[in-house]
Amino acid sequence: MWLYLVALLVLYLLCRWYRERQTVSNLPDKHVFITGCDSGFGHLLAKQLDGRGLRVLAACLTEQGAERLQQETSGRLQTVILDVTKSDSIAAAAAWVKGQVGDRGLWGLVNNAGIRDPAGPNEFLSKADFTRVLDVNLVGLIEVTLSLLPLVRRAQGRVVNVASAAGRMSLIGGGYCPSKYGVEAFSDSLRRELRDFRVKVSIIEPGGFRTPLIDVQRVQKGLEQVWSCASANIKEAYGQQYFDCHFEKFKKFLFTNSSKLHLVTDAMEHALMARHPRTRYSCGWDAKLFYLPVSYLPTSWTDYLLTCSMPKPAQGI
């Protein structure tokens, strides 16, 4: 009996492999707009898609980032300056994209722009700390998407939103995890709404990767600032040891992150170019073998796994 089950599993995997290898046609005629192309995933994806012959429209936050990207790519790639926290900047970029794509519409929108800091224990942070991250990672993503959806619908194209393994369970305090939970929710509703327009929405869920977004010195500086801004009452309640251990644990986590950024950009590329893209792409072995399985465990088990090695606050029970 088990031989039949193995045969069925092998047949399923072969069919899935064949189905996922089918690509869309006329790639050189398709435009893809990517946010956050100064560095990291966005920068690498822009170069990767340009090498595949697509017409890449790369949004960078700075002139320096745009110039560096143009020097590393072909003349097909075009850049625009975009700050996703400013409505006038988004409106100007949307108008520019419309001028670039014309009546063909926009085949792909990749919402990649994001920040992580300020981060730390929640009670050490202010409302402004949360808002800063949410404005970039969630509110900005939503506004960019709404501004460009008419062009994506015209092309019956793709929307690719970068969430995170932290969009399934919160690994650290601050606005990053709530923003990625929000990206998951927004993407789910958008996927169902756009299905009848033949627009496909995919979610990218990376695990830990070494990008400019996560730098040890930058993280240390950010956490030290968070500690220095905390009130005396909060410092007394938690204690220096709790905060120091929090940083050391996170620093060890950073050093175990993967440097293989192509695992993420390959998933983005597949979501844009495959005839049958996946709904979700979990990128990295930590996402596949730890974060995703742990997110399905009972909450008490998840809480224990994530806190068992942390010290208790000074005034905790």
Note the pTM of the prediction, 2 decimals: 0.88
Confidence of residue 224 (pLDDT cuts 50, 70, 90): low
- What would the mean pLDDT of 10-26 be, rounded to a whole number? 76
With beta carbons less than 8 A apart as the criterion, state whether 253 and 166 touch. no
Burial category of 96 from C-beta neighbours within 10 Å (exposed 0-12, middle 13-18, buried 19 and up): middle
Is residue 18 among the annotated active site residues? no
pLDDT for residue 88 is more than 90: yes
Please count the other Cβ atoms lying within 10 Å of the Cβ belonging to residue 285.
13
Provide the pLDDT for residue 170: 84
Confidence of residue 107 (pLDDT cuts 50, 70, 90): very high
pLDDT for residue 78 is more than 70: yes
Torsion angles phi and psi, residue 95, rounded to 5 = -65, -40
Active-site entry in 4, 12, 18, 176:
176
pLDDT for residue 223 is more than 80: no
Between 114 and 152, name the one with better pLDDT. Answer: 152
Between 250 and 15, name the one with better pLDDT. Answer: 15
CA distances from 184 to 138, 165, 187, 240 (A): 10, 10, 5, 35
Burial category of 68 from C-beta neighbours within 10 Å (exposed 0-12, middle 13-18, buried 19 and up): middle
The CATH code of the domain at 26-212+259-301 is 3.40.50.720
Structure tokens at 13: 């995997």
Of 79-83, 117-121, 218-222, give the lowest mean pLDDT range: 218-222
Residue ranges per structural domain of the chain: 26-212+259-301
pLDDT for residue 251 is more than 90: no
Provide the pLDDT for residue 257: 66
Q: Per 3-state DSSP, what percentage of the chain is helix, strand, and coil (rounded to 5)?
A: 60, 15, 30
Query: Percentage of residues in the chain with pLDDT exceeding 70?
Result: 88
Between 221 and 26, name the one with better pLDDT. Answer: 26
Provide the pLDDT for residue 55: 92
